[in-house]
Structure 1
Amino acid sequence: MTDEGKLILAGAHRIIKELDELQAAIDNHHNKISGKLKILAPLGFGRKYIAPLLGRYMSSHPHLEVELTLSDAPDWFSFNQWDLVIYIGNLKDSSMRCIKLASNQRFLCAAPAYLERYSMPTTPSELQQHVCIALRENNEDVTLWNFQQNKKNISIRIQPQYSSNEGATVKEWALSGLGIAMRSEWDVAAYFRNGELIQILPSYQLPNADIVILTSENSTKRSAKIEKFTQLLQEAFLHTPWNTDE
Protein backbone atom coordinates (compact mmCIF):
# COMPACT_ATOMS: atom_id res chain seq x y z
CA MET A 1 0.00 0.00 0.00
CA THR A 2 1.26 3.50 -0.87
CA ASP A 3 1.81 6.20 1.75
CA GLU A 4 -1.22 8.06 0.38
CA GLY A 5 -3.32 4.92 0.65
CA LYS A 6 -2.22 4.40 4.25
CA LEU A 7 -3.23 7.97 5.10
CA ILE A 8 -6.65 7.50 3.50
CA LEU A 9 -7.13 4.20 5.33
CA ALA A 10 -6.11 5.77 8.64
CA GLY A 11 -8.56 8.62 8.02
CA ALA A 12 -11.38 6.20 7.28
CA HIS A 13 -10.66 4.23 10.44
CA ARG A 14 -10.66 7.48 12.42
CA ILE A 15 -14.08 8.50 11.04
CA ILE A 16 -15.55 5.06 11.80
CA LYS A 17 -14.08 5.21 15.30
CA GLU A 18 -15.63 8.65 15.89
CA LEU A 19 -19.03 7.35 14.79
CA ASP A 20 -18.64 4.37 17.12
CA GLU A 21 -17.72 6.73 19.96
CA LEU A 22 -20.82 8.82 19.27
CA GLN A 23 -23.00 5.70 19.42
CA ALA A 24 -21.19 4.63 22.59
CA ALA A 25 -21.89 8.00 24.20
CA ILE A 26 -25.60 7.60 23.42
CA ASP A 27 -25.57 4.05 24.81
CA ASN A 28 -23.72 5.17 27.94
CA HIS A 29 -26.34 7.84 28.50
CA HIS A 30 -29.00 5.14 28.45
CA ASN A 31 -26.82 2.75 30.51
CA LYS A 32 -26.79 0.25 27.62
CA ILE A 33 -23.96 -1.98 26.37
CA SER A 34 -24.33 -2.15 22.60
CA GLY A 35 -22.63 -1.35 19.32
CA LYS A 36 -19.55 -3.08 17.89
CA LEU A 37 -16.60 -4.19 20.03
CA LYS A 38 -13.48 -4.82 17.93
CA ILE A 39 -10.74 -6.93 19.48
CA LEU A 40 -7.35 -8.02 18.11
CA ALA A 41 -5.59 -10.94 19.84
CA PRO A 42 -2.80 -13.45 19.12
CA LEU A 43 -3.94 -16.61 17.34
CA GLY A 44 -3.52 -19.32 19.96
CA PHE A 45 -4.05 -17.19 23.05
CA GLY A 46 -7.06 -15.49 21.51
CA ARG A 47 -8.66 -18.78 20.51
CA LYS A 48 -8.11 -20.40 23.91
CA TYR A 49 -8.82 -17.53 26.30
CA ILE A 50 -10.24 -14.41 24.64
CA ALA A 51 -12.91 -16.02 22.43
CA PRO A 52 -14.62 -17.82 25.36
CA LEU A 53 -14.59 -14.62 27.44
CA LEU A 54 -16.17 -12.71 24.56
CA GLY A 55 -18.88 -15.38 24.39
CA ARG A 56 -19.63 -14.89 28.08
CA TYR A 57 -19.63 -11.13 27.64
CA MET A 58 -22.04 -11.24 24.71
CA SER A 59 -24.43 -13.54 26.56
CA SER A 60 -24.76 -10.83 29.21
CA HIS A 61 -25.09 -8.05 26.62
CA PRO A 62 -27.20 -9.34 23.70
CA HIS A 63 -27.26 -5.95 21.94
CA LEU A 64 -23.48 -6.06 21.50
CA GLU A 65 -21.76 -7.00 18.24
CA VAL A 66 -18.27 -8.49 18.53
CA GLU A 67 -15.54 -8.59 15.90
CA LEU A 68 -12.53 -10.69 16.98
CA THR A 69 -9.44 -10.73 14.76
CA LEU A 70 -6.75 -13.32 15.53
CA SER A 71 -3.24 -12.71 14.25
CA ASP A 72 0.37 -13.35 15.28
CA ALA A 73 1.58 -10.67 12.85
CA PRO A 74 -0.39 -7.49 13.65
CA ASP A 75 -0.10 -4.36 11.53
CA TRP A 76 1.13 -1.69 13.93
CA PHE A 77 0.08 1.08 11.54
CA SER A 78 -3.60 0.13 11.87
CA PHE A 79 -3.74 -0.64 15.61
CA ASN A 80 -6.17 2.23 16.20
CA GLN A 81 -8.90 0.47 14.21
CA TRP A 82 -9.48 -1.88 17.20
CA ASP A 83 -11.03 -0.97 20.52
CA LEU A 84 -8.71 -3.29 22.43
CA VAL A 85 -5.57 -5.17 21.43
CA ILE A 86 -4.36 -8.17 23.41
CA TYR A 87 -0.60 -8.32 22.92
CA ILE A 88 2.15 -10.69 24.05
CA GLY A 89 5.79 -9.60 23.99
CA ASN A 90 7.86 -6.44 23.74
CA LEU A 91 5.95 -3.30 22.78
CA LYS A 92 6.97 -1.38 19.69
CA ASP A 93 4.56 1.55 20.01
CA SER A 94 4.71 3.57 23.22
CA SER A 95 1.79 5.77 22.12
CA MET A 96 -0.67 3.00 22.98
CA ARG A 97 -1.94 2.90 26.55
CA CYS A 98 -0.91 -0.34 28.19
CA ILE A 99 -2.70 -2.34 30.89
CA LYS A 100 -0.82 -5.42 32.15
CA LEU A 101 -3.05 -8.46 32.10
CA ALA A 102 -0.69 -11.23 33.25
CA SER A 103 2.98 -12.11 33.65
CA ASN A 104 4.20 -14.60 31.09
CA GLN A 105 7.61 -16.25 31.00
CA ARG A 106 9.18 -17.81 27.95
CA PHE A 107 10.86 -21.20 28.04
CA LEU A 108 12.86 -23.45 25.77
CA CYS A 109 11.34 -26.91 25.67
CA ALA A 110 11.55 -30.26 23.96
CA ALA A 111 9.88 -33.65 24.14
CA PRO A 112 11.54 -36.53 26.02
CA ALA A 113 11.86 -38.41 22.72
CA TYR A 114 13.99 -35.64 21.22
CA LEU A 115 16.26 -35.47 24.28
CA GLU A 116 16.74 -39.25 24.20
CA ARG A 117 18.10 -38.95 20.65
CA TYR A 118 20.15 -35.76 20.94
CA SER A 119 20.80 -35.30 24.70
CA MET A 120 20.11 -32.26 26.85
CA PRO A 121 22.02 -29.05 26.00
CA THR A 122 23.76 -27.53 29.03
CA THR A 123 24.70 -24.10 27.66
CA PRO A 124 23.06 -21.75 25.13
CA SER A 125 25.98 -22.17 22.70
CA GLU A 126 25.19 -25.89 22.40
CA LEU A 127 21.85 -24.97 20.80
CA GLN A 128 23.74 -24.35 17.57
CA GLN A 129 24.27 -28.13 17.36
CA HIS A 130 20.59 -28.89 17.95
CA VAL A 131 17.44 -28.86 15.83
CA CYS A 132 15.66 -25.60 16.67
CA ILE A 133 12.06 -24.65 15.97
CA ALA A 134 11.23 -20.95 15.58
CA LEU A 135 8.02 -18.95 15.70
CA ARG A 136 7.74 -16.03 13.30
CA GLU A 137 5.78 -13.33 15.15
CA ASN A 138 5.69 -9.56 15.70
CA ASN A 139 8.37 -9.10 13.01
CA GLU A 140 11.01 -10.30 15.49
CA ASP A 141 14.38 -11.80 14.49
CA VAL A 142 13.55 -15.47 14.99
CA THR A 143 17.18 -16.57 14.62
CA LEU A 144 18.42 -14.60 17.66
CA TRP A 145 17.70 -16.15 21.05
CA ASN A 146 18.57 -14.04 24.10
CA PHE A 147 19.34 -15.36 27.58
CA GLN A 148 20.38 -14.02 30.95
CA GLN A 149 22.25 -15.74 33.76
CA ASN A 150 23.60 -14.02 36.88
CA LYS A 151 22.79 -10.64 35.27
CA LYS A 152 24.93 -11.52 32.24
CA ASN A 153 23.27 -11.24 28.82
CA ILE A 154 23.94 -13.95 26.26
CA SER A 155 22.76 -13.94 22.63
CA ILE A 156 22.91 -17.00 20.40
CA ARG A 157 22.31 -17.06 16.65
CA ILE A 158 20.47 -20.24 15.69
CA GLN A 159 19.60 -21.74 12.31
CA PRO A 160 16.03 -23.04 12.76
CA GLN A 161 15.31 -26.18 10.80
CA TYR A 162 11.58 -25.62 11.32
CA SER A 163 9.72 -22.32 11.51
CA SER A 164 6.07 -21.29 11.41
CA ASN A 165 3.97 -18.17 11.90
CA GLU A 166 1.52 -20.17 14.06
CA GLY A 167 2.34 -20.98 17.68
CA ALA A 168 0.22 -24.14 17.84
CA THR A 169 2.22 -25.62 14.97
CA VAL A 170 5.50 -24.84 16.71
CA LYS A 171 4.24 -26.48 19.90
CA GLU A 172 3.01 -29.59 18.04
CA TRP A 173 6.39 -29.98 16.36
CA ALA A 174 8.06 -29.84 19.77
CA LEU A 175 5.57 -32.34 21.21
CA SER A 176 6.30 -34.65 18.27
CA GLY A 177 9.99 -34.71 19.20
CA LEU A 178 11.20 -32.77 16.17
CA GLY A 179 13.31 -30.21 18.03
CA ILE A 180 13.70 -27.48 20.65
CA ALA A 181 11.17 -24.65 20.65
CA MET A 182 10.72 -21.38 22.51
CA ARG A 183 7.19 -21.12 23.86
CA SER A 184 5.23 -18.99 26.31
CA GLU A 185 4.36 -20.19 29.79
CA TRP A 186 0.63 -19.88 29.06
CA ASP A 187 1.00 -22.38 26.21
CA VAL A 188 3.27 -25.05 27.72
CA ALA A 189 2.84 -24.99 31.53
CA ALA A 190 0.39 -27.91 31.42
CA TYR A 191 2.79 -29.98 29.26
CA PHE A 192 5.61 -29.41 31.76
CA ARG A 193 3.35 -30.73 34.51
CA ASN A 194 2.36 -33.90 32.65
CA GLY A 195 5.86 -34.57 31.32
CA GLU A 196 5.11 -34.26 27.61
CA LEU A 197 7.59 -31.38 27.39
CA ILE A 198 10.77 -30.75 29.38
CA GLN A 199 12.25 -27.34 30.07
CA ILE A 200 15.64 -26.75 28.44
CA LEU A 201 18.39 -24.68 30.16
CA PRO A 202 16.32 -23.94 33.28
CA SER A 203 19.18 -21.96 34.89
CA TYR A 204 19.02 -19.38 32.07
CA GLN A 205 16.25 -16.80 31.84
CA LEU A 206 14.64 -15.75 28.59
CA PRO A 207 13.03 -12.31 28.17
CA ASN A 208 9.52 -12.22 29.57
CA ALA A 209 6.61 -11.82 27.16
CA ASP A 210 3.97 -10.30 29.41
CA ILE A 211 0.35 -10.26 28.26
CA VAL A 212 -1.08 -6.75 28.02
CA ILE A 213 -4.15 -4.86 26.85
CA LEU A 214 -3.44 -1.98 24.48
CA THR A 215 -5.90 0.83 23.89
CA SER A 216 -5.73 4.34 22.47
CA GLU A 217 -8.16 5.63 25.10
CA ASN A 218 -7.62 6.31 28.79
CA SER A 219 -10.06 4.99 31.39
CA THR A 220 -12.02 8.25 31.56
CA LYS A 221 -12.73 8.18 27.82
CA ARG A 222 -13.37 4.48 27.26
CA SER A 223 -16.94 3.58 26.40
CA ALA A 224 -18.92 1.32 28.73
CA LYS A 225 -18.59 -1.68 26.39
CA ILE A 226 -14.77 -1.36 26.40
CA GLU A 227 -14.48 -0.60 30.10
CA LYS A 228 -16.69 -3.52 31.15
CA PHE A 229 -14.84 -6.02 28.96
CA THR A 230 -11.50 -4.71 30.24
CA GLN A 231 -12.73 -5.38 33.77
CA LEU A 232 -13.83 -8.89 32.78
CA LEU A 233 -10.36 -9.59 31.34
CA GLN A 234 -8.63 -8.37 34.48
CA GLU A 235 -10.85 -10.53 36.67
CA ALA A 236 -10.31 -13.60 34.47
CA PHE A 237 -6.51 -13.31 34.62
CA LEU A 238 -6.20 -12.25 38.25
CA HIS A 239 -5.12 -15.86 38.87
CA THR A 240 -3.48 -17.08 35.67
CA PRO A 241 -5.43 -20.13 34.42
CA TRP A 242 -2.35 -21.89 33.03
CA ASN A 243 -0.83 -22.18 36.52
CA THR A 244 -3.58 -24.51 37.74
CA ASP A 245 -3.80 -28.28 37.51
CA GLU A 246 -7.03 -28.12 35.53
Structure 2
Amino acid sequence: MLDTDDLRFFVAVAASPSLAAAARSLNVSPPAVTQRLRGLETRLRVHLVDRSGRGLTLTDEGELLAERGRDLLGAFDDLNDALAERVGAVTGHLRIVAPLGFGRRHVAPVVAAFRTRHPGVRIDLLLSDRLGRIPSETWDLAIHVGEIREATPSLTVRALAPNERILCASPAYLTRHPAPRRPAELRDHTCIALRENDEDVTLWRFRAVDGAEERVRVDAGLVSNDGDVVRGWALAGLGVIVRSEWDVADDLRAGRLTRLLEGYALPSAPVVALLGSERRSRAARTERFLEALRRSFDPLPWRAPRDPDGVARDPGPLRPG
Protein backbone atom coordinates (compact mmCIF):
# COMPACT_ATOMS: atom_id res chain seq x y z
CA MET A 1 0.00 0.00 0.00
CA LEU A 2 2.85 2.37 0.80
CA ASP A 3 6.29 2.78 -0.72
CA THR A 4 9.24 5.05 0.07
CA ASP A 5 8.09 7.63 -2.51
CA ASP A 6 4.77 7.92 -0.66
CA LEU A 7 6.57 8.34 2.65
CA ARG A 8 8.95 11.00 1.32
CA PHE A 9 6.02 12.85 -0.21
CA PHE A 10 3.95 12.89 2.95
CA VAL A 11 6.89 13.71 5.23
CA ALA A 12 7.55 16.76 3.02
CA VAL A 13 3.88 17.78 3.22
CA ALA A 14 3.83 17.32 7.00
CA ALA A 15 6.91 19.55 7.38
CA SER A 16 5.38 22.38 5.31
CA PRO A 17 3.08 25.17 6.54
CA SER A 18 0.88 24.93 3.43
CA LEU A 19 0.31 22.88 0.30
CA ALA A 20 1.91 25.68 -1.72
CA ALA A 21 5.05 25.47 0.44
CA ALA A 22 5.04 21.68 0.09
CA ALA A 23 4.81 22.08 -3.69
CA ARG A 24 7.84 24.38 -3.67
CA SER A 25 9.87 21.92 -1.58
CA LEU A 26 8.89 19.06 -3.90
CA ASN A 27 9.40 21.11 -7.09
CA VAL A 28 5.88 20.40 -8.36
CA SER A 29 2.71 22.44 -8.80
CA PRO A 30 0.21 22.92 -5.91
CA PRO A 31 -2.53 21.05 -7.85
CA ALA A 32 -0.17 18.08 -8.23
CA VAL A 33 0.38 18.02 -4.46
CA THR A 34 -3.36 18.22 -3.80
CA GLN A 35 -4.12 15.43 -6.26
CA ARG A 36 -1.42 13.13 -4.87
CA LEU A 37 -2.49 13.77 -1.28
CA ARG A 38 -6.08 12.91 -2.12
CA GLY A 39 -4.95 9.77 -3.89
CA LEU A 40 -2.87 8.73 -0.88
CA GLU A 41 -5.81 9.29 1.50
CA THR A 42 -8.08 7.29 -0.81
CA ARG A 43 -5.67 4.36 -0.95
CA LEU A 44 -5.14 4.34 2.81
CA ARG A 45 -8.83 5.06 3.52
CA VAL A 46 -7.87 7.62 6.19
CA HIS A 47 -8.00 11.41 6.44
CA LEU A 48 -4.43 12.69 6.87
CA VAL A 49 -4.58 16.49 6.66
CA ASP A 50 -7.10 19.18 7.57
CA ARG A 51 -6.83 22.20 5.26
CA SER A 52 -7.87 25.66 6.39
CA GLY A 53 -7.09 29.29 5.71
CA ARG A 54 -4.44 29.09 8.45
CA GLY A 55 -2.53 26.28 6.76
CA LEU A 56 -2.24 22.56 7.29
CA THR A 57 -3.09 20.56 10.40
CA LEU A 58 -2.29 16.86 10.59
CA THR A 59 -4.98 14.50 11.83
CA ASP A 60 -4.05 11.83 14.36
CA GLU A 61 -3.54 9.43 11.45
CA GLY A 62 -1.45 12.04 9.67
CA GLU A 63 0.74 12.53 12.75
CA LEU A 64 1.24 8.78 12.96
CA LEU A 65 2.19 8.46 9.30
CA ALA A 66 4.58 11.44 9.46
CA GLU A 67 6.32 10.22 12.62
CA ARG A 68 6.64 6.58 11.57
CA GLY A 69 7.47 7.65 8.02
CA ARG A 70 10.43 9.76 9.20
CA ASP A 71 11.70 6.83 11.27
CA LEU A 72 11.37 4.37 8.39
CA LEU A 73 13.02 6.73 5.91
CA GLY A 74 15.82 7.34 8.37
CA ALA A 75 16.41 3.60 8.76
CA PHE A 76 16.25 3.13 4.99
CA ASP A 77 18.76 5.93 4.39
CA ASP A 78 21.02 4.54 7.13
CA LEU A 79 21.04 1.17 5.35
CA ASN A 80 21.85 2.75 2.00
CA ASP A 81 24.63 4.83 3.57
CA ALA A 82 26.13 1.81 5.33
CA LEU A 83 26.16 -0.28 2.15
CA ALA A 84 27.61 2.59 0.12
CA GLU A 85 30.35 3.23 2.68
CA ARG A 86 31.39 -0.43 2.49
CA VAL A 87 32.49 0.17 -1.08
CA GLY A 88 33.76 3.71 -0.49
CA ALA A 89 30.88 5.39 -2.34
CA VAL A 90 29.25 8.67 -1.32
CA THR A 91 25.58 8.66 -2.28
CA GLY A 92 22.16 9.83 -1.14
CA HIS A 93 20.22 13.07 -0.88
CA LEU A 94 21.86 16.09 0.77
CA ARG A 95 19.62 19.07 1.60
CA ILE A 96 21.49 22.27 2.43
CA VAL A 97 20.23 25.67 3.61
CA ALA A 98 22.50 28.73 3.48
CA PRO A 99 22.15 32.55 3.69
CA LEU A 100 21.43 34.33 0.42
CA GLY A 101 24.59 36.38 -0.18
CA PHE A 102 27.02 34.08 1.60
CA GLY A 103 25.45 31.04 -0.01
CA ARG A 104 25.79 32.46 -3.51
CA ARG A 105 29.42 33.45 -3.03
CA HIS A 106 30.88 30.74 -0.80
CA VAL A 107 28.55 27.72 -0.63
CA ALA A 108 27.22 27.30 -4.17
CA PRO A 109 30.74 26.86 -5.70
CA VAL A 110 31.52 24.14 -3.13
CA VAL A 111 28.23 22.41 -3.94
CA ALA A 112 29.10 22.42 -7.66
CA ALA A 113 32.58 20.99 -7.05
CA PHE A 114 31.24 18.40 -4.60
CA ARG A 115 28.58 17.22 -7.05
CA THR A 116 31.23 16.83 -9.75
CA ARG A 117 33.39 14.79 -7.39
CA HIS A 118 30.48 12.71 -6.05
CA PRO A 119 27.86 12.34 -8.82
CA GLY A 120 25.94 9.81 -6.72
CA VAL A 121 24.84 12.56 -4.32
CA ARG A 122 21.70 14.54 -5.18
CA ILE A 123 21.91 18.03 -3.65
CA ASP A 124 19.20 20.59 -2.92
CA LEU A 125 20.55 24.04 -1.99
CA LEU A 126 18.03 26.47 -0.54
CA LEU A 127 19.22 30.06 -0.07
CA SER A 128 17.31 31.95 2.60
CA ASP A 129 17.98 34.49 5.34
CA ARG A 130 15.08 33.10 7.39
CA LEU A 131 16.62 29.91 8.74
CA GLY A 132 14.47 29.97 11.87
CA ARG A 133 11.34 29.72 9.74
CA ILE A 134 12.48 26.63 7.83
CA PRO A 135 11.63 23.38 9.70
CA SER A 136 14.79 21.48 10.62
CA GLU A 137 13.15 18.29 9.37
CA THR A 138 13.41 19.63 5.81
CA TRP A 139 17.21 20.02 5.74
CA ASP A 140 20.27 17.95 6.63
CA LEU A 141 22.80 20.76 6.92
CA ALA A 142 22.35 24.50 7.45
CA ILE A 143 25.04 27.16 7.14
CA HIS A 144 24.54 30.04 9.57
CA VAL A 145 26.47 33.33 9.77
CA GLY A 146 26.18 35.19 13.08
CA GLU A 147 25.25 34.60 16.68
CA ILE A 148 23.04 31.66 17.56
CA ARG A 149 20.64 33.26 20.00
CA GLU A 150 18.62 30.19 20.96
CA ALA A 151 20.41 26.87 21.31
CA THR A 152 18.36 23.87 20.20
CA PRO A 153 19.35 20.55 21.81
CA SER A 154 18.39 18.63 18.67
CA LEU A 155 20.93 20.54 16.56
CA THR A 156 24.68 19.96 16.44
CA VAL A 157 26.85 23.03 15.83
CA ARG A 158 30.14 22.75 13.93
CA ALA A 159 32.45 25.76 13.64
CA LEU A 160 33.56 26.52 10.07
CA ALA A 161 35.24 29.94 9.92
CA PRO A 162 35.74 33.17 11.89
CA ASN A 163 34.04 36.29 10.60
CA GLU A 164 33.91 39.76 12.13
CA ARG A 165 31.36 42.52 11.66
CA ILE A 166 32.78 45.85 10.47
CA LEU A 167 31.48 49.42 10.61
CA CYS A 168 32.32 51.26 7.41
CA ALA A 169 31.37 53.93 4.88
CA SER A 170 32.60 55.14 1.51
CA PRO A 171 35.24 57.89 1.15
CA ALA A 172 32.61 59.95 -0.71
CA TYR A 173 30.30 59.85 2.31
CA LEU A 174 33.15 60.72 4.69
CA THR A 175 34.06 63.81 2.68
CA ARG A 176 30.63 65.19 3.56
CA HIS A 177 30.40 63.79 7.13
CA PRO A 178 33.40 63.61 9.50
CA ALA A 179 34.14 60.08 10.68
CA PRO A 180 32.65 59.30 14.13
CA ARG A 181 35.11 59.09 17.02
CA ARG A 182 32.71 57.36 19.43
CA PRO A 183 29.69 55.10 18.84
CA ALA A 184 27.31 57.73 20.25
CA GLU A 185 28.21 60.04 17.34
CA LEU A 186 26.51 57.63 14.95
CA ARG A 187 23.22 59.23 15.99
CA ASP A 188 24.29 62.22 13.89
CA HIS A 189 25.05 60.08 10.82
CA THR A 190 22.95 58.57 8.07
CA CYS A 191 22.92 54.84 8.78
CA ILE A 192 21.87 51.93 6.58
CA ALA A 193 20.46 48.81 8.24
CA LEU A 194 20.27 45.20 7.08
CA ARG A 195 17.18 43.33 8.20
CA GLU A 196 18.16 39.69 8.83
CA ASN A 197 17.62 36.84 11.29
CA ASP A 198 14.77 38.73 13.01
CA GLU A 199 17.33 40.94 14.79
CA ASP A 200 16.78 44.46 16.18
CA VAL A 201 18.50 46.04 13.19
CA THR A 202 18.76 49.61 14.45
CA LEU A 203 20.36 48.78 17.82
CA TRP A 204 24.10 48.61 17.19
CA ARG A 205 26.33 47.18 19.93
CA PHE A 206 29.99 48.05 20.43
CA ARG A 207 32.65 46.90 22.88
CA ALA A 208 35.61 49.12 23.75
CA VAL A 209 39.15 47.88 24.35
CA ASP A 210 38.55 48.00 28.13
CA GLY A 211 35.51 45.74 27.72
CA ALA A 212 32.86 48.40 28.27
CA GLU A 213 29.79 47.91 26.10
CA GLU A 214 28.00 50.76 24.38
CA ARG A 215 24.67 50.45 22.58
CA VAL A 216 23.49 52.99 20.06
CA ARG A 217 20.01 53.29 18.59
CA VAL A 218 20.66 54.59 15.07
CA ASP A 219 18.18 56.34 12.83
CA ALA A 220 18.28 54.17 9.71
CA GLY A 221 17.22 56.18 6.69
CA LEU A 222 17.60 53.11 4.48
CA VAL A 223 16.74 49.51 5.39
CA SER A 224 16.83 46.38 3.24
CA ASN A 225 16.78 42.61 3.74
CA ASP A 226 19.35 42.15 0.96
CA GLY A 227 23.02 42.46 1.90
CA ASP A 228 24.08 43.26 -1.67
CA VAL A 229 21.64 46.17 -1.75
CA VAL A 230 22.92 47.53 1.58
CA ARG A 231 26.54 47.26 0.45
CA GLY A 232 25.67 48.96 -2.86
CA TRP A 233 24.05 51.86 -1.04
CA ALA A 234 27.17 52.29 1.09
CA LEU A 235 29.43 52.19 -1.98
CA ALA A 236 27.25 54.90 -3.51
CA GLY A 237 28.00 57.15 -0.52
CA LEU A 238 24.53 57.01 1.02
CA GLY A 239 25.51 56.16 4.60
CA VAL A 240 27.26 54.03 7.24
CA ILE A 241 26.78 50.26 7.36
CA VAL A 242 27.62 47.30 9.56
CA ARG A 243 28.53 44.34 7.37
CA SER A 244 30.26 41.02 7.69
CA GLU A 245 33.96 40.89 7.00
CA TRP A 246 33.40 38.30 4.25
CA ASP A 247 31.26 40.80 2.32
CA VAL A 248 33.32 44.01 2.55
CA ALA A 249 36.95 42.90 2.96
CA ASP A 250 37.77 43.41 -0.74
CA ASP A 251 36.12 46.85 -0.72
CA LEU A 252 38.14 47.88 2.34
CA ARG A 253 41.42 46.75 0.80
CA ALA A 254 40.62 48.52 -2.47
CA GLY A 255 39.65 51.72 -0.67
CA ARG A 256 36.06 51.66 -1.89
CA LEU A 257 34.98 51.54 1.78
CA THR A 258 36.73 52.84 4.90
CA ARG A 259 36.64 51.14 8.27
CA LEU A 260 35.32 53.25 11.16
CA LEU A 261 35.71 53.14 14.98
CA GLU A 262 38.61 50.70 14.94
CA GLY A 263 38.95 51.01 18.70
CA TYR A 264 35.57 49.32 19.13
CA ALA A 265 34.49 45.77 18.31
CA LEU A 266 31.09 44.72 17.06
CA PRO A 267 29.62 41.29 17.91
CA SER A 268 31.35 38.70 15.77
CA ALA A 269 29.43 36.66 13.21
CA PRO A 270 31.16 33.26 12.97
CA VAL A 271 30.28 30.87 10.17
CA VAL A 272 28.91 27.60 11.56
CA ALA A 273 27.19 24.49 10.27
CA LEU A 274 24.06 23.15 11.94
CA LEU A 275 23.33 19.45 11.63
CA GLY A 276 19.71 18.41 11.81
CA SER A 277 20.11 15.14 13.68
CA GLU A 278 22.63 12.57 14.86
CA ARG A 279 21.80 10.31 11.91
CA ARG A 280 22.42 13.05 9.37
CA SER A 281 25.64 14.12 11.06
CA ARG A 282 27.01 10.58 10.66
CA ALA A 283 26.16 10.27 6.95
CA ALA A 284 29.23 10.11 4.72
CA ARG A 285 27.83 12.68 2.30
CA THR A 286 27.34 15.20 5.12
CA GLU A 287 30.80 14.69 6.60
CA ARG A 288 32.46 14.83 3.19
CA PHE A 289 30.62 18.05 2.31
CA LEU A 290 31.64 19.61 5.64
CA GLU A 291 35.25 18.68 4.89
CA ALA A 292 34.95 20.34 1.47
CA LEU A 293 33.53 23.49 3.07
CA ARG A 294 36.34 23.65 5.61
CA ARG A 295 38.93 23.27 2.87
CA SER A 296 37.32 26.15 0.97
CA PHE A 297 37.86 28.34 4.06
CA ASP A 298 41.58 27.50 4.39
CA PRO A 299 42.90 30.07 3.88
CA LEU A 300 39.93 32.30 4.57
CA PRO A 301 38.83 33.84 1.25
CA TRP A 302 38.00 37.17 2.92
CA ARG A 303 41.40 37.36 4.61
CA ALA A 304 43.52 35.76 1.90
CA PRO A 305 41.92 36.52 -1.47
CA ARG A 306 42.80 34.29 -4.40
CA ASP A 307 44.14 35.18 -7.81
CA PRO A 308 42.11 34.11 -10.86
CA ASP A 309 44.18 30.91 -11.02
CA GLY A 310 43.03 29.99 -7.48
CA VAL A 311 46.33 30.65 -5.71
CA ALA A 312 46.06 32.45 -2.36
CA ARG A 313 47.88 35.75 -2.24
CA ASP A 314 48.82 38.24 0.48
CA PRO A 315 45.69 40.30 1.12
CA GLY A 316 47.50 43.24 2.64
CA PRO A 317 46.00 45.24 5.49
CA LEU A 318 42.38 46.32 5.69
CA ARG A 319 42.43 50.10 5.29
CA PRO A 320 41.74 51.91 8.56
CA GLY A 321 39.27 54.74 9.00
Superposed pair shares fold, TM > 0.5: yes
Query: Alpha-carbon deviations, 1:18-55, whole Å to 9, x = none?
Result: 52552353133133322221000011110001000000
Change (3 A) 1:170 1:6: farther
- What secondary structure does 2:220 align onto? coil
Max radius of gyration: which structure?
2
| Structure 1 position 134, deviation (Å) | 0.5
Shift of 1:196: 0.4
Q: Which residue of 1 aligns with 2:176?
A: 117
Partner of 2:272: 212
Is 2:203 aligned against 1:147?
no
Match of 2:139 among 53, 57, 82: 82
Matches within 5 A, 1:222-237: 222-237=282-297
Percent sequence identity over aligned pairs: 38
Structure-1-length-normalised TM-score: 0.91
1:200 maps to 2:249: no
1:132 corresponds to which of 176, 191, 201:
191
Q: Taking structure 2 as the reference length, what is the TM-score of the superposition?
A: 0.71
2:164 corresponds to 1:105: yes
Name the stretch that deviates more: 17-26 or 99-108. Answer: 17-26
2:28 match: none
Q: Secondary structure of the residue that 2:159 maps to in structure 1?
A: strand
Question: Where does structure 2 lack aligned partners over 5 or more consecutive residues?
Answer: 1-16, 18-53, 307-321
Greater RCO, CA 8 A, separation 6+ = 1
Partner of 1:140, secondary structure, is: coil
Say if 1:21 and 1:223, in contact at 8 Å, map to a contact too.
Answer: no
> Partner of 1:181 in structure 2?
241
Native 8 Å contact 1:17 1:81 kept in 2: no
Question: 1:176-223: CA deviations, max 9, x gaps?
Answer: 111000000111111111100001111110000100000133489521
- Alignment-derived partner of residue 127 in structure 2: 70
Matches within 5 A, 1:39-50: 39-50=96-107
- Contact 2:84 2:91 survives alignment (8 Å): no
In 1, Cα distance between the equivalents of 2:118 and 2:270?
29
The answer for the alignment partner of 2:151 in structure 1 is 93
1:93–1:196 CA distance, 2 compared to 1 (3 A) = same
Is structure 2 residue 5 aligned with structure 1 residue 5?
Answer: no
Give the distance between the partners of 1:167 and 1:58, measured in 2 at CA: 27
Aligned to 1:201, what secondary structure does the other structure show? coil
User: For 2:236 and 2:67, how far apart are their aligned partners in 1?
Assistant: 43
Using the TM superposition, name which of 216-225 and 155-164 deviates more: 216-225
Q: Does 1:59 align with 2:113?
A: no
Q: CA deviation digits over 1:132-169, x for unaligned, max 9?
A: 01011110000100000010010001121111111111
Letter in 2 for 1:130: H
Q: Provide the C-alpha distance between the structure 2 equivalents of 1:176 and 1:193, rounded to a whole number of angstroms.
A: 17
Q: How many angstroms apart in 1 are the aligned matches of 2:301 and 2:151?
A: 28
Q: Size of the alignment, in residue pairs?
A: 245
The DSSP-based 3-state class of the residue aligned with 1:122 is coil
User: Does the 8 Å CA contact 1:110/1:199 hold for their aligned counterparts?
Assistant: yes
Q: CA RMSD in A?
A: 2.4
